[in-house]
Amino acid sequence: MLALKNMFLFPPIKTGYGDGSGMVTDRHLAFYKARCRYVGAITVKPFYLDKGLREIPTQLGLDSDDKVEGLKKLTASIHASGAKVIAHLNHPGRMANPNIPGNYFISSTDKPCENGGAMPKQMDRNDMENVVRLFTDAALRAKKANFDIIELQFGHGYLLAQFLSPLVNDRTDEYGGDFDNRTRFPLQVLRAVDETADGAARSARAIYLLS
């Protein structure tokens, strides 16, 4: 079991301290350094998995290998205080910000999002495979950047919650309908990330939080 110096966890908050590149900045380093001494683990702000899936223009990314070196500096700074570091991975689905140029929208449904009004594409099997790959690739980069914990966002109306919700998921295939079907795709993502992270570093410990 992963040991924490205390039971306080710092949640993922959107600081707005990015420069639009998706990379760690000096402001990020200073912000988390000032807080990590007080908590058992720091959850870094939600990472985007693809530049077309941003919630805010200044969001940090885990979509490409060029992000890893900056994140290593961040995790090293937090580890120096004795705290652990959590990588929060999220796909917004139809809740991607419609005001950011280049964003795209996919979901369990093709109904427009109540938050922002974006009209999503109802995902097909290729879309599902691409989403699983985005999560597993990001998980591998998180391990390379020395994160201790991987957190998957299953709530708050984002993509995986869009599959879980009977109010949003109106599919008629094996990914919609009853509870078992609605959980099928989110659990595929969870298992794929679990297998990927475990295969990447069997000596490392990871926790998967369904927040």
Question: Which residues are tagged catalytic?
Answer: 158
* Backbone torsions φ then ψ of 121, nearest 5 degrees: -90, 135
**Residue 66, Cα to own-chain centre: how many angstroms?**
17
Q: Which helix (H) or strand (E) holds 35?
A: helix 26-36
Task: Give per-residue burial for 122-146: e unless 16+ CB within 10 Å, then b.
Answer: bbeeeebeebbebbbbbbbbbbbbb
> In a 3-state reduction of DSSP, which class is residue 85?
strand
8 Å CB contact between 167 and 94 = no
8 Å CB contact between 146 and 79 = yes
**Residue 142, Cα to own-chain centre: how many angstroms?**
10
